[in-house]
Each structure stands twice: as structure tokens, then as C-alpha cells.
Amino acid sequence: MPPKSEAVLRYEVIDRCLTNIYKRFPSMEDLLYKCERELKHSYTVHTIQRDIHAMKFDEDLGYMAPIKFSKQSNGYYYDDPNYTIRTFGINDKEIEAIELAAGVLQHFKGIKVNDTYNHAVDKLFSALDIKKSSKEESLANAIQPEESVYMRGMEHFEILINSIKKKISVSFIHYSYEKKSFKTIIIHPYLLKESNKRWYLVGYSEEHKEIRYFGLDRIYDPILIDKEFVSNNKNDLRNLFNNKIGINQIKVYEKKNFSLTADENVSEKLEDIKIWVSKEMANYIKSMPLHASQIIREQEEGDLVIILNLVPTLELISLILSYGQNMCVLKPNWLKEEIIKVLHNSAEQYKHGPF
Amino acid sequence: MKKKKEVPKASGGYIISNPEIGSSNENVQLLRIVLTKVETKIDFGYQATDFYDDGGWIKINPLTFIRPSGSSKKFILTNAYNIPFGPEVLQMNSTIGWRYFSLAFPPISEEVDLIDLIEEEFGDKNDFNFFRIKLNEKEKKYKIY
């Protein structure tokens, strides 16, 4: 939160004076004295008069405070005895912004990220006395993020985010779809990472003695335990994931005789990936790069050659395959060969089964 | 429709992560023990094999118990999560089926170092019998936060 401006601090002091039931109708001298005393700064009467005017009429400020002057009591007061800027200090534009943000977060509702989320939003709106717009009017309806389906394990989101925040180690049971086996894991959690609509817990695994990630859908019964926390001082995890498309990097030793398996550690081994893109797809790839590292070399015929510098992942392969005949890996050879193998096997499967 | 049982959240107490076991059932993996004042919960993982075409089935005898090793004092099963009490069975439906489940027993004294978990006394290899499960290995026992 940015620091409050001095003017806002004065508005707050004036507000406290006007809502002080033990000293009603503070005079200009009272307000000046209070501001100077609390903020340890000298002000003029004109400054306080200007503050009162802003609190009453400044639409950008949004208070629209019902401040009146009583000649009889020679002091200021709020016309509405329940008014205070502490609950009404939000203007229409800010309400719209909150509604919009709430709309963006709507897609989390269905997947039960956080039981308290809905309640918190309701409480916020209620505390601010914002009437929620009707469904037809709501700004939130003007945006439609992709629908998220419920993923098993999302019920752990809250406990895991708290463990990350408070740096508490976690014990859980993990089931590996690939190895078809269970493991008891103790993790020092650092990050919750979303990739392709799946969420992963990233942290130092005591079992593996390195930073690993675990799909939330494969995590069972997490329990916070009292164990000295191993902090992550070596790796900038956010940058580490920026070097990939997705999360499931391919095991290095399997690249020669590759099969679709993932390496669950998060090390960083960058490779140049050279890909041909058809002219039909060229504009799409130019307007939305496959990866931030993408370099484009335009060909005379309108087709492209792009070069990506990243850690190869299963998601990269899926992405390339999703473009069908409009995309073709030129380099490295192991990746090219693997994609040929996948396409061949897939074609054989369509022709002959095993269905 | 049966109401799904919720696994209660652990509070206070200890966990024993991947405890050492003297001898164990080969079909099911004992993964963790959660010792609280309310219960002794034991977590298991079951992976179907290709022994049966459809992966077979699992169930738990409601008279399953734990006992301090060498003692005759029995702590009978109080609850089972994600596994039915026999004779009802849970079909795996395929050879790649799997199940994480937990069995709950009454709380046991912190003084107990070793326990046995017995589904069938003098049973065969299909019964969930585990002997001499270590509860007080320092490097595997952690206080619940």
C-alpha cells in the first residue's frame, strides 16, 4: 500500500475530531491544534479550510462528507451522525475497480480456492456500504475468463498458501501417476504455481534433497509440522519458471531415447529450439509469441522460422503438436525425432487400435 | 446415498513419517501415522496389480486392531476413511487403480514404542497385518504445528 499523503492524514485527524462524542462541535482552532499536535507540523487556518472543502466537495477524493458549521456551538459537525470517512472513503471509480477485480476472481469461486473468499468480498462490500450491482449491470459480467473446472486437491490451497506465508514445513502423502506409487513427503514450501489450469506446490523436498514440484491433485492430507524451515536462498523461482512453457521439463538423460516422461525437479537447462511456421499461422505466432524468448526470421514466402531459448517441456511438445502441419521442429534433432515418433504412433493408433 | 466421511484435520500431537516396520503386508504401503489425543490415524496407499484382470478389490475388517507389540491389549478400529468395512468391497476397476485410505484407532500412550496392526490374527498374505511398527524414531517423528 503506498504511504498516505499528508493531506489524507489531516482528513483523518479532522474526521476523528468530528466523530469524537466527548467533544462535539470542534472549532477551527480545535481542528488546527489537533492536526498540528498529531502530525507534528505547523498548518495555517487556510489549509484546514481547504481540507474541509475537499472533504465536502472533491469528487475524486470521494468522501462527499456532510460537514456543517454550527453558529450556535461555534464548531463543525457531521450532518449525518453515523458518517465517517473511515467507512465511506471510496468513490464510484474505486467501487467499479473492486467490482472488476472481483469479477476476475469469480472463476476461483467454483474451484473452492478459499472458503473465506466469498465471505470476505461480501464483508468488504457490506463494510463499505456498496450496493452490489444487479447481475445485468455488473461490470464483472463484461469480462469472461476461461472457465476453470474443479481440480482435486484445490481444497488444500488455503492450508498450503498459509504454510508458504508463515514458512511452516508440511507433511503430505503423494501419489505419482507416472511411477504408480505413493510416497510420504516433507516439504518446505515456497510457491504455488499454476500451469495449464493445474496447480503445483513448489518447495524443497526432504525426500529428494532438492527443489521439486507436486501437483495439488496428487497431494493427500497435508499436515503442518514443527520442523526447522529450509529457506530458498539460491533460486529465483519466478525466473526459473519463466524459462519454460508449462512445468514438466523433460528428463535430460532420456532425450536420446525419449519417452514422454517428466523430470520433477526445477533445474534450468536452456536449449535453442528452432521451429518452422507455415504462412497460414505466421500472423498468429507473430502477434502472440509461443514464449518470451521467441526470435522471428521471416522467409520470402511468408512462412517463418522462430527460435525459442528455453527449457524443453512436455507442454512445449503438446503446443507444437497442437499446430499440426503448420509447425515443424527443425532443431534440436532429438526433439524433431520424438515428434515424428509421436505423430507416427498416433497415426498407427488411429488406423489399427488398440481400441 | 451414503454420506462421504471427512478425514478429520489433525491438531496437536505428532506424525511419524514413513515409519520403520518389522514385517508388513506386501500389497499395501503404510505411509504415515498421526498420533493425537483424539485418535491414532494410520495412512495407507494401495496400488492395484495385474494379478486380477480388473485390479481386484480392497476392504477392511471392522475388527482390525492395533496393540503395543508383545501386549494383548487391543485398540479396535473406530473409523475407516476411503475404504469400506467388509464384507462391502471397493472394486479397483482396472489394474492401474489405486487408493489412499486411513484407519483410525483410539489414542495410545506416548510411552508405546512399537505397535502391531492386525486385520486377521494368523491371517494370510492378503490380510493387512503389520508387525513392530516403530513410533519413536527421532528422525521420523515430528510435532504437529
Q: Is residue B1 part of a domain?
A: no
CATH number at residue B41: 2.60.40
Of B17, B96, B100, Cβ closest to residue A182: B100
Q: Is residue A268 part of a domain?
A: yes
Closest alpha carbon to A187 in A162, A153, A211, A156: A211
Domain shared by A189 and A282, yes or no: no
Q: Nearest chain A Cα to B10, which residue?
A: A223
Contact by Cβ (8 Å): A211, A204: yes
> Quick check: B142 and A227 CB within 8 A?
yes
Q: What does the pLDDT read at residue B10?
A: 53
Among candidate residues A212, A242, A272, the one where a domain is terminated: A242
Q: Is residue B4 part of a domain?
A: no
> B17 to chain A: which residues are within 8 Å by CB?
171, 184, 186
Give the N- to C-terminal CA distance of chain A in Å, as an integer.
58
Dihedral sign of CA atoms A81, A86, A92, A96 in order? negative
Helix A28-39, helix A6-18: angle, nearest 10: 130
- How many domains does chain A divide into? 4
pLDDT tens sequence for chain A (355 residues): 444 678 888 998 999 999 888 888 999 999 999 999 989 889 999 999 999 999 999 887 888 899 999 999 899 999 988 888 876 556 666 667 776 776 666 556 555 555 555 555 555 555 554 445 444 455 666 777 777 677 889 889 989 999 999 999 999 999 999 889 999 999 999 999 988 888 999 999 999 998 999 999 999 999 999 999 999 887 777 777 888 899 888 875 455 554 545 555 555 688 999 999 999 999 999 999 999 999 999 888 899 999 999 999 999 999 999 999 999 999 999 999 999 999 999 999 999 877 7
Q: Is residue B67 part of a domain?
A: yes
> Quick check: B145 and A225 CB within 8 A?
yes
Cα gap A42→A65, rounded to integer Å? 24
> How many Cβ atoms are within 10 Å of A142's Cβ, its own excluded?
9
B12: which residues sit within 8 A by CB, 6+ positions away? Answer: B36, B37, B144
Which residues of chain B have a pLDDT value below 50? 1-2
Among candidate residues A65, A87, A109, the one where a domain is terminated: A87
Q: What does the pLDDT read at residue B1?
A: 44
> Quick check: B142 and A184 CB within 8 A?
no
CATH number at residue A71: 1.10.10
Q: Structural domain of residue B67, as residue ranges?
A: 14-143
Q: What does the pLDDT read at residue B2?
A: 47
Cα gap B133→B67, rounded to integer Å? 10
CATH number at residue A194: 2.30.30
Helix A314-322, helix A333-352: angle, nearest 10: 60
CA distances from B12 to A229, A296, B39 (A): 19, 58, 11
Q: Is residue B2 part of a domain?
A: no
> Quick check: A171 and B17 CB within 8 A?
yes
Angle at A71 between CA A68 and CA A73, to 5 degrees: 90
**Listing from the earlier edge strand, what are the strands of the sheet with A295-298?**
A295-298, A304-310, A271-277, A327-331
> Quick check: A186 and B45 CB within 8 A?
no
Domain shared by A137 and A217, yes or no: no
- What ipTM was assigned to the predicted interfaces of this complex? 0.90
- How many domains does chain B divide into? 1
Of A168, A180, A221, Cβ closest to residue B145: A168
Of A169, A184, A223, Cβ closest to residue B10: A223
Q: Provide the shortest C-alpha distance from residue A206 to chain B (in Å).
A: 11
Q: Structural domain of residue A196, as residue ranges?
A: 154-242
Closest alpha carbon to A76 in A87, A68, A65, A84: A68
Cα gap A304→A287, rounded to integer Å? 13
> A181 to chain B: which residues are within 8 Å by CB?
29, 45, 47
What torsion do the CA atoms of A134, A137, A143, A149 make, to the nearest 10 degrees?
Answer: 20
Q: Is residue A147 part of a domain?
A: no
